[in-house]
Structure 1
Amino acid sequence: MAKLELHFLLLVVLVLISVHYKPVMADSIAGTSFIKSSCRATSYPALCVHSLSSYATKIQQSDKQLAQAALSVSLARARSTSVFVSKMTKVSGMKPRERQAVKDCVENMGDTVDQLGKSIQELGRVSRRAKKSHDFMWHMSNVQTWVSAALTDESTCVDGFGEHAMDGDVKGAIKSRVVSVSKVTSNALALVNRFAARHRAATATTSMP
């Protein structure tokens, strides 16, 4: 009898788990499909899908959530890289030019973190249900400007190590990390632009007589 009750209880638990997780799984599958489709608009689609897949349930099929997640990924990597580059200033044995390039990169990555942080906050103020389309586009213009500036700062950091005289391990380590950040930032900008373009298209359609 006790064995039967245990089997029954186990069955009830499994049913409850199934009922609870089915919607979650459905959201995750839909979100993953949406991410894969949207990432085709980026320069690094495979990286885009890989870096955003864990956000699938939250993103579902929202262009805004997709752009927000992409910016969050970029900011997290930029912060990590900024800390790493700062530590590199303490490495001994660097050539003067290389040390100066590292210091410049610290500043560049600090600016990148600030700009990505502001872009996330600004995107959070965007509403697709805004009464005036120009309000939406004003916010989006700010986001695009800051993400573009972050991408420029990342490129400036990498360019600072472009001289042939700089061939040390520090150069390679920093360039590798910053290039990785610039790729996810590029993807984030593409998804931000996609969000803005789709909103414009939808607004134009609804305003047609």
Structure 2
Amino acid sequence: MPRPCAPRLLLAAVLLALAATAAASPANSAAAATDFIRKSCRATQYPSVCVQSLSSYGGSPPPRSPRELARAALAVSADRARAASAYVGRLSGARAGPVRDCLENMADSVGHLRDAAEEMGGSMGRAGSPGFKWHLSNVQTWCSAALTDENTCLDGLSRGVDPATRAAIRGKVVQVAQVTSNALALVNRVGPGY
């Protein structure tokens, strides 16, 4: 009498389940997240900066949706703005004028980016709802204000600042403005249709 096929079928099902689990391994998840970041960053003004800054972002788990990616980009921008503000603060010392004004602009930028990241990370409601649109508008406004603060800092350095100090501050603030611009582009992709 032939043996029943049930044990073979069970073994085949177990092997298929193990293969599916291996395919969803952390390495594949990381590759998928990196691919998602790379594709999303194509919509930004500084795609290589976007990929670099978000790939090194320590968020866990990695961003998998446009909203999570925008939140991560805002967090990166806030961190970079905070570091640039501290740097400008060290350079400003007892100086008055444009460097002190730049420091105030950067402090404002940090606050706007922090508010935007918190709003994006909060309960925004269902995509497309009036509440969601209101929250998203707040994020866009704060992110735009941060970018304006950064550009105002850069514009103010054009007069009354020695070339070495201007170049040092400019290098830091330009990096912040690039990640903020990218964050705003990613925020603008959040919502219905994305």
Distance 1:88 1:135, change over 3 A: same
Any conservation in 2 of the 1:28–1:60 contact (CA below 8 Å)? no
> Which structure's residues are more often helix, by fraction?
1
One-letter amino acid of the structure 1 residue matched with residue 179 of structure 2:
V
Seq. identity, %? 46
How far apart are residue 88 of structure 1 and its match?
Answer: 1.0
Give the TM-score, by structure 2 length.
0.81
1:37 and 2:39 equivalent? yes
RMSD: 2.3
Alignment of 1:68 onto 2:65: no
Give secondary structure in 1 for the equivalent of 2:189.
helix
Structure 1 partner of 2:192? 200
Query: What TM-score comes out, normalization by structure 1 length?
Result: 0.76
Query: Of 58, 80, 84, which aligns to 1:81?
Result: 84
Report the counterpart of residue 152 of structure 1 in structure 2.
Answer: 148
| TM-aligned CA deviation for residue 131 of structure 1 | 7.9
Return the offset for 1:61: 2.6
Q: Report if aligned partners of 1:125, 1:139 keep a CA contact under 8 Å in 2.
A: no
CA distance in 1, matches of 2:23, 2:113: 34
**Number of aligned positions between the proteins:** 173
Per-residue deviation, residues 164-183 of structure 1 (Å, max 9, x unmatched): x6442111101110011000
Q: Which of 93, 98, 102 lines up with 1:101 in the alignment? A: 98
Residue type of the alignment partner of 2:173: V
Could you give the per-residue CA deviations for residues 16-41 of structure 1, whole angstroms, max 9, x where no partner exists? xxx89962111110000011100010
Letter in 2 for 1:107: E
In the alignment, which of 135, 142, 158 is matched to residue 139 of structure 1? 135
**Which of 170, 175, 178 is the equivalent residue of 2:170?**
175
Q: Which runs of 5+ in 2 are unaligned?
A: 1-20
Alpha carbons of structure 1 residues 41 and 126: separation in structure 2 relative to 1, 3 Å: farther
